Each structure stands twice: as C-alpha cells, then as structure tokens.
Amino acid sequence: MRLNRRQRVLIGLGVSLLFLAAVCAAGILSGEAAMATDFSRKNTAPCVKYLFGTDWLGRDMLARTLKGLSLSILIGLLAAAVSAVLALVLGIVSATMGKAVDAAVTFCIDLVMGVPHILLLLLISVALGKGLRGVIVGVALTHWPSLARLIRAEVIQLKESPYIQIAEKLGKSKWYIARKHLLPHLLPQFVVGLVLLFPHAILHESSITFLGFGLSTEQPAIGIVLSEAMKYLVTGEWWLALFPGLLLVIVVILFYVAGESLQKLMNPGSVHE
Amino acid sequence: MWKKFTGMVCAAVLAAGLLAGCSGGTGDKNQDTQTTGEMAAKDEVVVTMPISSEPEAGFDPAFGWGAGEHVHEPLIQSTLTVTTKDLQIGKDLATDYSVSEDGMIWTVSIRDGVKFTDGEALTASDVAFTYNNCKEKSTVNDFTMLDEAVALNENTVEFRMTKPFSIWPYTMAIVGIVPEHAYDENYGQNPIGSGRYIMKQWDKGQQVIFEANPDYYGDAPKMRKVTVLFMEEDAALAAALAGQADVAHTAASYADQTMDGYGLLAVQTVDNRGFNLPCIMPEEKDGITYGNAFTADVNVRRAINIGIDRQEMIDHVLNGYGTAAYSVCDKMPWYNEAGEVAYDQEEAKRILDDAGWLEGSGGIREKDGVKAEFTLMFSSGDSVRQALAEDTANQLKELGIRVTTEGVGWDVAYDRAQSDPLVWGWGAHTPMEVYNIYHSLANSGIGQAEYSPYANETVDQYMDEALETATLEESYELWQKAQWDGTTGITQEGDIPWIWLCNIDHLYFVRNGLQVAEQKIHPHGHGWSIVNNVDQWSWE
C-alpha cells in the first residue's frame, strides 16, 4: 500500500503523539518505582528484569528514565505554553498598540535574545530558588522572543490586508479585530511555534538540571539522572547514561517531527518552501 | 540494503548487551589497566585530593589553612603542639607549656634556633602575632576564648584567655605560625613558614607543588617533592588508571575497581555521618521553625537509634568501608563507649508501642493525630549522604516510620535542620566538637544547641567543667560524663538528640612500592589529612 504525503505526515504525527503520551503515562505510573531504593540489586547491568539496569542505590533505571522524561515533558509543556502565550500577547500588542509599545516590546525581544539563552535561564532559575518553579519560569521567560517576533511580523502584515482595514473603517474596536480577525489567522503559526518550543524547553530543562541549577537531586529528572550517571561512567556502568540519553534524544526528535508534521498539515504551502 | 544491515548490527549489539547484563549481575568490572605512567622518582610523590580541598583563601591559617572546618597539619608552617597517633598532645615548636590555676593564662616556651624559610628567626612575637591575627580575622575557627597573645621574651609566649579552655593544646596543634615580618594580605598566596615543606608552585584549580624545607629543624623529610592534584573522584580514578598519581583518593563506590600496580588503602576515621533529631515541640522565632512534633518524643529517638542496622548500612552504602558510629567522637580519648548500642528492631518497635505510637493507616504509626514521619534532608550532590538517607528511610519504614528524603543546598539547610533532620558530617581532633553540637547557646536561636534544638543543663555543666579543668586528662573524663554519667547524657538511655550512623573510611589507591606512613584516625574531610606525615613516606 502506498501512502500519499498527507497520510505519511498524519501517521508521523500520530505515532509521535502516541509515543509521547505513552512516555508520560508510564512516567506518571512509575513514580513510586523511580524513587524506590533497594541496595540488594544495586549496579545491575541491563537484563530482562531490569531492561535499563539499576543505579548505585538500586533504583530501576527504566522507571527513572520514564519518570524523568515525563517530568521533562510536563515541565516542557507548561513552560512552552506559558512562553508561547507570552509571545502571542506581546506579538499582537507590539503590532497593534502603536509605535511606543512596539519599540518597547522590540527592545525586550532584542534584550532577551542578546543574552545567551542558557545563561539567562540559569540566572532566572537560581534567582527564584531553583526547583520546579525556577525551571518553569526560567524556561518560560527565555523562550518567547523568537515566536513573538514571528507573530509581530505576521500581525503587521495582516494589518495591511483589506478585510482588517474594512473592519477598522466599520468602527470595530481593536479588541474585536484582534479576537475575531487576527487570532484565527495566527492560530496555525501559534500552534506550530508552540509545538516547536517543546523540544527546546525539554532540552533546556534537562541542561540546567544537569548543571545543578534546576530540579532538586532527589527528583528523578532526566538531567539529574544523567549528571549522576557521569560519575559512574569511569567504572564502566554505561547503561546509566546511555538509555536515558538516548530516550531524551528520541523524545526531542519526536516533538520536532510532530511540530513539522503539524506545520505541513496546517500550512501545506510550507512543504515547498 | 545498507539500512537493513545497519539495523541488524544495532539489534545484535543491543541483544548482546542485554544478555551480558543478565549473566553478570554487577558484572566483572575490571578495567583495562595500564602502568605506562612514569614511576615517580624515589623521593617524590603525587597525591590527588578533592577539588574542595584546595584552600580558596590560600595557605593562611587565619583563613582556614589547617585550622579550618577540616583540621590538618599545615605542612608549610609549624605548630606549637601536635596530635599524636592516639590523639593525645605532643610538642612541636613548644618545648613546654603550662596553664595557671584558674585556667586563664597559658604559658608556652618555644624551641630555640627555628628559622623561617626566608632565613629570619622564629620568635615568640611571631607566635603572638599569629594568634592575635587569627583571633582578629578567622571566620572559620572559633578564637573567642583567646583574649590576647603576648610575647614575654624571645622564647616565651603567654596566651591570656577570656575563659578557661583546658583543650587549648588541641587548638595549638592546628594553628601554623606565620612570620610577622612577612605577613600581608597576600600571605596566603606566597606562604612562608618554618614547617617541613615549602610551597613552590600553585596552579590554581589544578595543583600545588611542595618541596622539602632544607633548613627544617626536625628530621629531614624523606619525600623531597610532593605534588597535590585537585580533582573529583572519577578523575582521580582515571589518573590512577593512567598511572599519573601515586595516591589517588577514591570513594567506596569505586573501591571494587582493581588496577595493576595499585592497592587500596583504607584509613580509619572519625569522619562520621549522622542526623539530628530536634528534641522540642515546634515553635517559631524570626521566621524559623524550631522543633519537630514527632522527634520531640525521646522514645522515638531511642527507637530510631536501635532500630537502625548500622552494619547493613555500611555494607550497602560504603561497600563495607566504614565503622559503625555511636557518637561524634568515636575512638577519641574523650569518647564514652557507653554510647554504643546493639541493633534491635523488635525492641525499637516495642519502645514505640509502649510510647503510644501505634500503627495507623498505610502501616505508618501515629499518636494523638501526629504521624510518625519526617523529612530527612541531605546536601544535594553528596551521593554518600543521599544513600545513607535512602537507607535510613528504608530501615525506618520497617519500624512504621515514614521518612521522605530531600536534597537541599547549604544555604537553607542550617535553618531547616532546626525542624527537620539533616544528614551531617562531623569529626574533629578536638573535644570542642562535642561542645559545638550538644551545648546550648543562650544567645542564639531559641537558646538551644546551635545546629538542632536540644538543651540539658547537666550535659552543659559537664562540658563547662571540662573546659575549666587544669589538665587534659581530667577534661577527658568530664567530656565522657557529658555523653553519659550513668543517669543522664546524650546516649541511648539519655536524651539521644543525634543519631550517629557510620564513620566513613577514607579510601585511596596507592601505587605499589609506596609506603604510606601509619595514619592517625582521620578527621572529617577527605583531603589534606592523608599528607599529615608525607615527610615520613618512602618508596621501596
């Protein structure tokens, strides 16, 4: 059976979303197992009983990896959602509220983009006392500029379209125009931008946790799992880093695939760009 | 075709990995070893230490060198006294010392003919300067008991105290004497002393190189050159594997590695780990909660103390490289063996039952609406403390106590430990540590002991008396009584405000042929103590 391009994209999207949902569900279910220590089985290499092996506290690495990934995905979703909403609001406000506001928002965009991402993220996270809140706020506050810039450009372009200008002439309020005319048009870009923010957010959450500025060490976050594994690479316990690292990459790739698929579905013309 | 082939190879590798894992359990982790590294010359040695051992403020006693949180002999400088192998007091620069009857004046005679490495003579005024300087500047160590140090003549110095302090000789054993004429704000970077070694080179963040002091007044050091490399344990292991270090510090988790050309040296320590149990009901002051409703019950603390199988914990967490701990000062001359208890889970359960802590929902005990649970904190990133906390949680679960572990930073740990137990590491060559942990402080917090709410007048009194005795020997007895005098104290039958778990052996991979001289029981800190007597090491 030969599939056309649209079907292939749909299958890619479906498989990605299914896998990510499965990881989330498994992670939520394996919360207890991810934390449970049992010294009688510590440092077991991967085998049938423990597919990903166990660590120095005898914790099941499969459970820890799934829990860590689900934690990362949830943090990523939350942070990316906050970030994307921020970008949407600022993008629209910037394009519709006049020159002064536009200048201020553009300045903020340049400012945030001017500082290296990870550095700003670290500073915000540390200033907020690290932990879950620090990471989410940090990721949310550092990821909005590129999407905001995109949306701002889109709105400026839309403002010149005849139907918006007619609506203005008819005396519709700015709020009405934004809600009824701009938002529906921006939705595809917004959704695609949001989905493409996920992998970024997940990687950055893992990175700062890996560096010790994110989640607390007793939480089975993927960054913690990887940073703990580093100490044991030298003694040959390769499974501690390999599987969590591999799965993190797979999750990030799947989110990317999902985002790209969505873009192709919502904006078929983009395929030819 | 190519894709299929690659896929098959990947699948085969994964399958082989899985099968190999199942067959071996922990597996044979012998590493490929190499002994290609250059063997050091016969009078040189390369030692690794944790990165945290590098003295941030330099080699200045006023800023913690030797006399810091982790006490050790300062190598570059000489001290008035030294601690002997059995942790009694010997003499170095001091030829004699005595204390006035009221304990307020210590008079110390100093060795003649000692020179700093710049050729200047070391006199009593250098000693007085060093101590006054430490009193003025030290934020790491407590010098509040010293009023002033005065040089009476070239060879005699007098320490005038603010209060009697019978254990002053232990302080004199860690304060390196600095030259008054060559001391400025950069002293820590370019230290001059009269000790066994001269600091030749310091590459910050990497290494320090010491060379033997040719004019040292004592026995000439056998090791002419000592290089100390700062690195984490995994890097130290790699350095040993590459043959680049003669002594590589290591952790219990690496101890089962075998390397050609190296043997494992385990040094007994008083580097203990334990956790505090706040002894009062919760109350708040200045935004800090003091006390814990569950651990306030002495029966709970007693049950926890005998309900923990220390040997199992040592086997689990330290791979057997440790000794059970029952006090903050095990094996020290001031240690009271009455603190030792046998593991008895049934008795622990009985104590809890009798005290009214009965099993409630989910197997967790409770009494009057208070659940038998607490959060056990550990410092983030310290894998040994984390493992001890996890094992404690597992063991106490069997008693019907729910323990939640949490990694915290030191920025919040001190305040939070006033209400939640925290895994601590202590162990010093001075009885003052017993005082610091158990003696109440009228002027701080809520007037209880500094690190965890606890106060007992009798215990306080023994320690106060111990500091006022004329001789160290008399003080030892009083320090022991503070721990347990037959009716009251800080041990199982007493108030048991802290639970001590284990003393962690300090482990090193030592190159074959290197004779590391006999070690004193190491204090807290897996760093400089190993080289206390590096001058007596030798190669076969």
B262 domain-assigned = yes
- Tell me the C-alpha to C-alpha distance, in Å, between residue B205 and each of B53, B56, B60, B208, B273: 10, 10, 17, 9, 28
Same domain, B65 and B40: no
pTM for the model: 0.84
What total of structural domains would you count in chain B? 3
What pLDDT, on the 0 to 100 scale, is given for residue B460? 96
Q: What phi and psi values does residue A36 have, to the nearest 5 degrees? A: -65, 125
Q: From the list B232, B253, B407, which residue is nearest A218 (CB)?
A: B407
B195 domain-assigned = no
Q: From the list B237, B254, B380, which residue is nearest A216 (CB)?
A: B380
Structure tokens at B242: 């590459």
Nearest-10 Cα torsion for A86, A87, A90, A96: -140
Given a cut of 50, whether residue B24 has pLDDT beyond it is: no
Q: If you average pLDDT over residues B479-485, what whole number do you get?
A: 96
Cα gap B25→B244, rounded to integer Å: 31
Q: If you average pLDDT over residues B147-162, what whole number do you get?
A: 95
Best of B13, B26, B231 to disrupt the A interface by mutation (most A CBs within 10 Å)?
B26
What pLDDT, on the 0 to 100 scale, is given for residue A184? 86
What pLDDT, on the 0 to 100 scale, is given for residue A271? 60
Given a cut of 80, whether residue B36 has pLDDT beyond it is: no
A140-182 confidence digits (pLDDT tens): 899 899 889 988 888 888 888 898 889 888 988 888 888 888 8
- Tell me the C-alpha to C-alpha distance, in Å, between residue B324 and each of B379, B398, B505: 21, 20, 11
Show the domain range for B107: 59-190
The SS3 of residue A16 is helix
CA angle, corner B464, sides to B479 and B305, nearest 5?
45
Residue that terminates a domain, selected from B131, B159, B190 = B190
Amino acid at B131: Y
Q: From the list B21, B387, B407, which residue is nearest A45 (CB)?
A: B21
**How far does the CA of residue B397 sit from the closest CA of chain A (Å)?**
12
Same domain, B380 and B306: yes
Q: Report the candidate in B131, B123, B83, B85 with the shortest Cα–Cα distance to residue B106.
A: B131
Partners of residue A43 in chain B, C-beta under 8 Å: 26-27
Cα gap B39→B171, rounded to integer Å: 38
State which residue of chain A sits closest to B408, comparing Cα positions: A216
State which residue of chain B sits closest to A216, comparing Cα positions: B407
Cα gap B444→A70, rounded to integer Å: 45
Maximum distance among all Cα pairs of chain A, rounded to whole angstroms: 77
Given a cut of 50, whether residue B25 has pLDDT beyond it is: no
**How far does the CA of residue A180 sit from the closest CA of chain B (Å)?**
49
Same domain, B134 and B230: no
What pLDDT, on the 0 to 100 scale, is given for residue B40? 54
State which residue of chain A sits closest to B394, comparing Cα positions: A37
What pLDDT, on the 0 to 100 scale, is given for residue A273? 56
Q: From the list A49, A56, A234, which residue is nearest B237 (CB)?
A: A234
Partners of residue B387 in chain A, C-beta under 8 Å: 37, 56-57
The SS3 of residue B367 is strand
- Which of the four pLDDT bands, split at 50, 70 and 90, describes residue A270? low
Give the residues across from B90 on adjacent strands: B82
The SS3 of residue B155 is coil
Q: From the list B234, B257, B316, which residue is nearest A39 (CB)?
A: B316
Structure tokens at B338: 């009455």
Structure tokens at B206: 């990497």
Relative to beta strand B225-230, strand B44-49 is parallel
**Residue B22's domain is classified under what CATH number?**
3.40.190.10
Residues of B at the A interface (Cβ-Cβ below 8 Å)? 17-18, 20-22, 24-27, 29, 31, 232-234, 237-238, 253-254, 257, 316-317, 380-381, 383, 386-387, 390-391, 393-394, 405-409
Q: Report the candidate in B3, B43, B460, B442 with the shortest Cα–Cα distance to residue B212.
A: B43
Q: B48 near B229, Cβ under 8 Å?
A: yes
Partners of residue A239 in chain B, C-beta under 8 Å: 17, 21
Same domain, B499 and B374: yes
Q: Report the candidate in B345, B344, B339 with the shortest Cα–Cα distance to residue B325.
A: B339
What pLDDT, on the 0 to 100 scale, is given for residue B39? 52
Same domain, B123 and B239: no
Same domain, B297 and B428: yes
8 Å CB contact of A48 and B18:
yes
Query: Which of A194-203, B93-102, B384-393, B429-438 bottoms out in mean pLDDT, i.e. has the lowest?
Result: A194-203
Same domain, B331 and B436: yes
**Within its chain, how far is the Cα of B168 from the centroid?**
20
- Tell me the C-alpha to C-alpha distance, in Å, between residue B319 and each of A43, B28, B233, B312, B331: 12, 16, 16, 10, 22
Given a cut of 90, whether residue B77 has pLDDT beyond it is: yes
- By percentage, how much of chain B surpasses pLDDT 90? 79
Given a cut of 90, whether residue A5 has pLDDT beyond it is: no
What pLDDT, on the 0 to 100 scale, is given for residue B444? 78
State which residue of chain A sits closest to B409, comparing Cα positions: A216
Given a cut of 50, whether residue A61 has pLDDT beyond it is: yes
Partners of residue B411 in chain A, C-beta under 8 Å: none
Q: What is the 3-state secondary structure (H, E, C) of B81-144?
A: EEECCCCCEEECCEEEEEECCCCCEEEEEECCCCECCCCCECCHHHHHHHHHHHHHHCCCCCCC
B216 domain-assigned = yes
Given a cut of 80, whether residue B303 has pLDDT beyond it is: yes
Partners of residue A55 in chain B, C-beta under 8 Å: none
Best of A40, A54, A57 to disrupt the B interface by mutation (most B CBs within 10 Å)?
A57
Hey, is the C-beta of A234 within 8 angstroms of any chain B C-beta?
yes
State which residue of chain A sits closest to B392, comparing Cα positions: A37
Same domain, B395 and B519: no
Q: If you average pLDDT over residues A175-199, what whole number do you get?
A: 86
Structure tokens at B237: 């292991």
From 3.40.30.10, 1.10.3720.10, 3.60.110.10, 3.30.70.260, which CATH number describes the A5-272 domain? 1.10.3720.10
Q: B339 near B327, Cβ under 8 Å?
A: yes
8 Å CB contact of B386 and A44:
no
Partners of residue B20 in chain A, C-beta under 8 Å: 45
**Residue B375's domain is classified under what CATH number?**
3.10.105.10
DSSP string, B464-483: HHHHH-SSHHHHHHHHHHHH
| CB within 8 Å of B259: residues ≥ 6 apart | B31, B33, B240, B241, B509
Partners of residue B238 in chain A, C-beta under 8 Å: 234
What pLDDT, on the 0 to 100 scale, is given for residue B35? 39
DSSP string, B302-346: HHHHHHS-HHHHHHHHHTT-EEE-SSTTTTSTT--GGG-----HH
| CB within 8 Å of B323: residues ≥ 6 apart | B268, B314, B330, B502, B503, B505
What pLDDT, on the 0 to 100 scale, is given for residue B9? 45
B198 domain-assigned = no
Higher pLDDT, B20 or A175: A175
Partners of residue A228 in chain B, C-beta under 8 Å: 383
Q: If you average pLDDT over residues A214-243, what whole number do you get?
A: 87
**How far does the CA of residue B117 sit from the closest CA of chain A (Å)?**
41
Query: Which of A249-258, B181-190, B222-231 bottoms out in mean pLDDT, i.e. has the lowest?
Result: A249-258
Residues in chain A: 273
Same domain, B17 and B103: no
**How far does the CA of residue A30 sit from the closest CA of chain B (Å)?**
17
Q: If you average pLDDT over residues A128-151, what whole number do you get?
A: 88
B197 domain-assigned = no
What is the average pLDDT score of chain B?
89
Region for A74 from its dihedrals, namely left if φ exceeds 0, alpha if ψ lies in -120 to 50, beta otherwise:
alpha
Q: From the list B26, B406, B407, which residue is nearest A44 (CB)?
A: B26
Same domain, B372 and B476: yes
B341 domain-assigned = yes
What pLDDT, on the 0 to 100 scale, is given for residue B30? 38
A32-58 confidence digits (pLDDT tens): 888 888 988 988 999 999 999 999 899
**How far does the CA of residue A216 sit from the closest CA of chain B (Å)?**
6
Residues in chain B: 540
Amino acid at B82: V
Given a cut of 70, whether residue B235 has pLDDT beyond it is: yes
Q: Report the candidate in B221, B527, B281 with the shortest Cα–Cα distance to residue B418.
A: B281
Given a cut of 90, whether residue B245 has pLDDT beyond it is: yes
> What are the sequence ranges of the domains in chain A?
5-272
**Within its chain, how far is the Cα of A109 from the centroid?**
19
- Which of the four pLDDT bands, split at 50, 70 and 90, describes residue B22? very low
Query: Which of A74-78, A125-129, B39-43 bottoms out in mean pLDDT, i.e. has the lowest?
Result: B39-43
**Residue B148's domain is classified under what CATH number?**
3.90.76.10
| CB within 8 Å of B293: residues ≥ 6 apart | B281, B282, B370
